[in-house]
Amino acid sequence: MPRALATPWVAMFLTLLLLTGFSHLAWAHAILMESTPALHATVPGPDVPIRLRFNVRVDGSRSRLHLLAPDGSLHTLPLAKQSTPDVLQSQATGLKPGAYKLKWSALASDGHMSSGEVSFTVK
């Protein structure tokens, strides 16, 4: 193959190789796709169902949910048995009106830990 034709093929191959390598990094962590309560939602209390859906399977036995109350206290929420591999569920009970933060840590099936929070208000 003439050298002029080989150069574009080498460039395309290197580009494909780079994109393939970075696509693995993009899927390396659990990304929160949907939450109940939704981010910045106002919900009725005192009992609030919690449901988090991720883009990948998460290990429910090694994932954690914590609730930061308006008074600054932090409560660990027990996780229910997973109904599907990409969902974490719990129930927050006895919540008083105010602003809360649901802090989550999820272990993705590939071994990477991700974390985040969902702020919501109980009326």
Reading the block at residue 58, the tokens are 């998460």
- What mean pLDDT comes out for the span 6-28? 50
Query: Is 101 in contact with 63 (CB distance < 8 Å)?
Result: no
Domain residue limits, the chain: 29-122
Does the pLDDT value for residue 21 go beyond 80?
Answer: no
Task: Find, among 99, 84, 90, 105, the residue nearest to 32 by Cα.
Answer: 105
pLDDT tens readout for residues 45-69: 999 999 999 999 999 999 999 999 9
Sheet holding 113-122, edge to edge: 41-43, 113-122, 98-107, 64-68, 74-77
Per CATH, the number for 29-122 is 2.60.40.1220
